[in-house]
Chains A and B, each alone.
Chain A
Amino acid sequence: MALTGVQVFKLLPKTNCKKCGFPTCLAFAMKLAQGGADISACPDVSEEAKTTLGEASAPPIRSFAIGTGDKAPKMGAETVMFRHEKKFVNPCAIAINIKDNDDSLAAKAEEVANSEIDRVGQILRVEAISIECASGDSATYEAAVKLAAEKAPEAALILNCKDAAVVEAAVKAVADRKPLINGATDENAEAMAAIAKANSCPIIACADGLEALSALTEKIKGLGVEDIVLDSGAKSAKEIIVNNTQIRRAALKKSFKPLGYPVINNVIRDNAILEASIASVAIAKYASIIVVSSVEKWKTLALFTQRQNIYTDPQVPMQVEQKIYEIGEPTADSPLMITTNFSLTYFIVAGEIENSKVPSRLAVMDSEGLSVLTAWAAGKFTAAKIAVFIQESGIGDTLTNKELILPGQVAILSGALEDKLGDWKITVGPREANAIPTYLKGRE
C-alpha cells in the first residue's frame, strides 16, 4: 500500500538539511509519496526506512519480461480491475504447448516464428512456446527444447516439466534465452527455485487454490527468486475468472504481496473454437499468459484482435489510417464519401456503407482520432485540410465525376470546399450514419 506524505515524513531524519535538494524533509516526503523523488537522494536515512519505503513503492503486481530481446513479452504492472478506469498495461502473451515427443514439433515452432501479422498498425504475434515433457526422458526433452529454440529464435520459452533434474539440463541448454520454468510445486520448490536462481530465470508457482499458492510464492521468494508467475490450478472457465479476479483484487485492493504476480492460464480444449472462446475469457479477465494447443491462423487472428480490443487505451481514441478505403468493389462511377479517422466513426460509417450494398469509396482523413463535429470544432476537419487531402490522394483522376459527399454535420464547409476544389462537385450527405443506406440507394 502506498504511504502518505506524512507517513513517509515520519521515516525521514527530520533535519531539514536540504541535501536532497528540497527545502524541508516534509517537502521531500510529499514528493516521495507522489513517486516524484527517490529515497536515495537522502544521505542520512536509515536502512530500515529504505526497506519500508522500497516495499511500499513497489508496484502491486510485479513486472518483468519472459525471455530476452525486444520481443520478450512483458507482464505484470497492472493497476486497475476494469479497462475503462485506465489502460490495461501489458497484453496477455499467447503460448502454444508442444509435447517433446511430438513429431511435428519443429513445424509447430516454425508456425510460431511465422505468426506475425499486422492489424491496424500493430504487429501481433504468438509470443511463446511451452515445451511439455511428455516423454519423461531427459535427453528427449533437452533435444526438443533446443529444437524449439532454434526454430523459433525470438519466441519466449516455457519449460513445462515438474522433474527438477530434467528441467536443469534443459535450462542449461537454452540458458541464454532465460526460459520460464514451469514449474515449482510445494514438493519440488527448493530444487526448482535453485535452478531458477542459478540461471536468472523466472518461475511458475503451481498450486491448487489461492491459499496454497500464496504460501508457495512466499516460499519461493524466500529462496531468492522474485520473478514468479502464478498458476492457481484453474481449469474450468469459472475457476479462471474467479481465481484471476481474486488474485488481481488481492494484489491491487488489499496490497497482498504473495499474489502480486502475473498469472498464467491453460485453456486447452479438444474443440478449437471452444478453446478460442475460453482463451478469450482468460485474456479479458487478467491472464498474462495463456497456453493453447494450436495456433491456426484464424484462431490467432481472433485472439490477437480481442487482446488488442481489451488492451486499447480507453482515454486515447483509436485511430484508423488516413486513406481512401474501398467498400464493396467500387468502379469509376461509385460515390466517394469522406469522414474522420476516429475508429468508431470509421467503423459505423463503413458499416452503414456496407449495409447499403452500394460499392463506394470512403476517404478517411486524419483528424487525430476526433469524431466529425469535434474535429470540425477543433479545426482539424476544415475545408482547407480536406482539399489538401483529396488533392494529394489523387483519387480525382480515377473517378468519372469528381464528386465528394460531405457528412451532413459539416454542411457548412461545402461552399468553402467548392472554392478550394474548383473542379469538384461537393454534395452534402446525411447527418447520421444510419441514414447512409437510404441515401446511397436513393442516388442509384
Chain B
Amino acid sequence: MSFVVPKESFNGKVASVDFGKDDKALTIGGDSALPFLSFEGELPNKPVVAYEIQDCPPDDWPDTVREVYKDVSGDPVTWAKYCQDEQGAKAIALRLVSTHPDRGDKSAEEASQTIKDVLAAISVPLIILGSNHIEKDSTVLVAAAEAASGNNCVIGKAQEGNYKTIVAAALAHNHKLIAMSELDINLAKQLNILITQMGFDKNKLITDPMCSALGYGLEYTYSVMERIRLAGLAQNDPTMQPPILGDVGMYVWKVKETVASEADVPEWGSLEERGIAWETLTATSLILSGANLLIMRHPSAIENVGKTIDELV
C-alpha cells in the first residue's frame, strides 16, 4: 500500500478584500483551500493583524496591556503613530469607545474629527469601529464613513439592528464593511444577504461571527468560523465567502485569566505571560478556523501570532 496525498479541491473561493491605499494597502482573503493547507489550493494572502487603539484612554484595559501604551494612549493620534512607527503595525483599528452613551457620549462630529486627525497622521490602513451601541453606532459610523471618505477604510460593525444606515454610508463613501452577528452561522448568512440586497458588493464585505476568548466560548467561535469557511469553499455559497474577522483583544482582555494577579491565583502562574498567552492562543486558534483579519492589543501577542503565521505559510 503506497501513500497518496489525500487532496480535496473546492469550487468556492473566499472573496479578496483590499483596504487602505497606495503602497500600504492590504488584501485579505482569496483562499481556495482551508486555512494553511496550501498543498491543495491558493492562499494568496496571509491573515492580517491590526493593532487596536481607542479614542479615549484605555482605563478599562488590565495593567498588562494598558502599561504598554501608558505614554501614548492619552491621545488617539499619538497612539496610532506609536503603533505604526514604533511597533510596525500593518493596520490600525480605532474603536470609538467614547461615543457610547455610558462612556462619554461624544457626538458623531467629535468622532469624525478624531478620525480625520488619525488618518492625517498615519499611512497604514484604518479600521473604524463603533462603540457597539446599536442606535449610537448608526449615526456615529455614518459620520465616520464620510469623514474617512477616499481612504478605503474598513467600517464596522453593521448589525441586524442598524445595518441599513451604515451600509448606505459605506456604499456612498466606498469603504469596506464588517457585518457582525452573534455566534450563529445562519444569522451571519442572513445579515450578509440583507446587506448585499441593499446593493452592497459582496466582495467588499467582511464577516464577524462574534469572537470569544479562550476558555469563554472560544469553541463556538472556532466552529462557526470553520463552518462558514466550509460553506464558502465546499458548498460554494456566495453569502458565506467574505473574509472573516476575529475581534480578539476586546474579548480576551477582560476575562479573569488576563486580570487576576498571581498573588490571588498562584496556581495560574505569571500574570504578564498568562495574559499575553491568552490573547496569542485565542488568535492562533481563530486563524486555524478561518479568520483572515484579527484585531489585537498586546504587541507581544501580536508579534507571536505573526511568527506563528510566518511558520504556517
Contacts and interface: CB of A to CB of B under 8 A. Distances in A.
Nearest to A248: B6
Interface string A74-93: 00000000111000000000
Contact of B3 (A214, A284, A301, A306): A214
A278 interface: yes
For B8, B215, B307, the residue with the greatest tally of chain A CB atoms inside 10 Å of its CB is: B215
Given A258-B3, A310-B222, 4 more contacts: A84-B227, A117-B267, A278-B308, A309-B214
A297 B3 contact: no
Interface string A346-375: 011001001111000000000000000000
Contacts of A214: 1-3
Contact of A246 (B5, B60, B311): B5
B277 A278 contact: no
A117 B268 CA distance: 9
Contacts of B284: 277, 280-281
Nearest to B226: A82
A310 B39 CA distance: 24
B267 A242 contact: no
B115 to A, nearest CB: 24
Given A83-B223, A273-B273, A354 B254 contact: yes
B44 interface: no
B288 A284 contact: yes
Interface of A: 82-84, 117, 119, 210-211, 213-214, 218, 236-238, 241-242, 245-246, 249-250, 253-254, 256-259, 271-274, 276-278, 280-281, 284-285, 296-299, 301-303, 305-306, 308-310, 312, 314, 318, 343-344, 347-348, 351, 354-357, 434, 437-438, 441
Contact of A278 (B102, B273, B311): B311
A344 B268 contact: no
Q: Which 8 A-B pairs have the closest CB atoms?
A: A297-B269, A298-B269, A298-B274, A237-B311, A84-B223, A249-B6, A305-B215, A309-B219
Contact of A238 (B216, B270, B301, B312): B312
A245 B254 contact: no
A119 B255 CA distance: 14
B36 interface: yes
A133 B228 CA distance: 46
B74 interface: no
A310 B285 CA distance: 9
Nearest to A213: B3
B288 A301 contact: no
A261 to B, nearest CB: 13
B215 A308 contact: yes
Interface string B276-313: 11101100110011000000000011001101100111
Contacts of B215: 119, 305, 308-309
B37 A211 contact: no
B212 interface: yes
Nearest to B212: A347
A83 B221 CA distance: 12
B219 A312 contact: yes
B218 interface: yes
Contacts of A242: 36-39
Contacts of A303: 281
Given A82-B226, A298-B270, A306 B313 contact: no
Given A246-B5, A273-B277, A306-B214, A438 B102 contact: yes
Contacts of A355: 60, 254
Contact of A280 (B1, B226, B227, B281): B281
A284 B1 CA distance: 29
Nearest to B305: A277
Given A241-B36, A245-B37, A281-B284, A296 B269 contact: yes
A302 B274 contact: yes
B60 to A, nearest CB: 7
A274 B38 CA distance: 22
B69 interface: no
Contacts of A356: 102
Contacts of B254: 351, 354-355
Contacts of A305: 214-215, 257, 281
Contacts of A272: 273
B217 interface: yes
B217 A344 contact: yes
B141 interface: no
B102 A271 contact: no
A210 B39 CA distance: 14
18 contacts: A82-B226, A83-B222, A83-B226, A210-B3, A242-B37, A249-B8, A256-B1, A259-B3, A276-B280, A277-B304, A281-B284, A297-B269, A299-B277, A314-B219, A314-B223, A318-B219, A437-B102, A438-B102
